[in-house]
């Protein structure tokens, strides 16, 4: 039986496109599996909860009760894909806690497959966060997201070691378009008949990348 995937979209920096990736991933899993459970750990940024209220709940890792509420759910092998949108303010605490409670080890034991998607920036905080995660997360469960909109194609070499997922930048008018709370990526694919549009291709390219990540998780298990 395939492992239950848990995607952790994270960055120690604000405004790097983390929630956008979490939205894309949630919609991809909804399209593919018909369900997903998303956890929003944002206090100060645009929230996944506002975009996908039906599948998202808020979570917190600042106290033990919040940690239990979140981690006791994501460690369950129930076949339901999970997406955690980990706000920058919770980055350190989340990974400190997951290291302390042995999350990666227990996940492996329980047929749960965590995949950490680190949304990179070129500043020192990102470098330090990336370095910390590279020591904590096995390479097969760690992907650096190169968001062209943030790093402008100049992702630092230190961040490109290991698996990388490239998210190409959209023109500003399309960026504004997809940032609307009512916008749905899958809805757009269904409604827009012209598959040659830039947005159509952008969404399909990203869905394809997520499918490849899923494949890598299946291959890891086999």
CB count within 10 Å of CB 162 equals 14
**Binding-site ranges for another protein (CB under 8 A):** 64-65, 67-68, 71-72, 75, 97, 100-103, 106
| Cβ proximity to another protein, 26 vs 71, nearer residue | 71
| Cβ proximity to another protein, 17 vs 114, nearer residue | 114
**Smallest distance from the beta carbon of 92 to another protein, in angstroms?**
17
Contact call for residues 43 and 89 (beta carbons, < 8 A): yes
| Cβ proximity to another protein, 18 vs 82, nearer residue | 82
**Smallest distance from the beta carbon of 104 to another protein, in angstroms?**
11
**Smallest distance from the beta carbon of 208 to another protein, in angstroms?**
34
Instruction: Give which of 203, 206, 133 is closest to 165, Cα–Cα.
Output: 206
| Cβ proximity to another protein, 58 vs 186, nearer residue | 58
**Smallest distance from the beta carbon of 90 to another protein, in angstroms?**
15
Here the tokens at position 80 are: 């339901």
Helix (H, G, I), strand (E, B) or coil at 28: helix
Burial class (CB in 10 A: 0-12, 13-18, 19+), 130: buried
């Amino acid at each position: 039986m395939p492992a239950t995937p848990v995607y952790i979209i994270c960055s120690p920096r604000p405004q790097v496109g983390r929630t956008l990736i979490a939205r894309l991933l949630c919609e991809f899993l909804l399209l593919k599996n018909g369900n997903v459970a998303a956890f929003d750990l944002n206090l100060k940024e645009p929230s996944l909860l506002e975009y996908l209220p039906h599948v998202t709940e808020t979570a917190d890792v600042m106290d033990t009760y919040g940690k239990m509420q979140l981690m006791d759910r994501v460690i369950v092998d129930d076949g339901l894909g999970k997406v955690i949108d980990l706000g920058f303010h919770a980055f350190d605490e989340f990974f400190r806690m997951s290291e302390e409670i042995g999350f990666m080890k227990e996940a492996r034991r329980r047929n749960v497959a965590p995949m950490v998607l680190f949304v990179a920036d070129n500043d020192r905080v990102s470098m330090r966060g990336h370095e910390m995660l590279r020591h904590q997360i096995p390479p097969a469960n760690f992907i650096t997201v190169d968001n062209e909109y943030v790093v402008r194609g100049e992702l630092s070499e230190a961040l490109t070691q290991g698996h990388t997922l490239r998210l190409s930048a959209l023109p500003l008018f399309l960026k504004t378009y997809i940032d609307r709370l009512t916008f749905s990526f899958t809805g757009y694919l269904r409604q827009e008949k012209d598959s040659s549009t830039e947005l159509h291709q952008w969404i399909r390219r990203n869905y394809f990348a997520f499918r490849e990540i899923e494949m890598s998780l299946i291959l890891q298990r086999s």
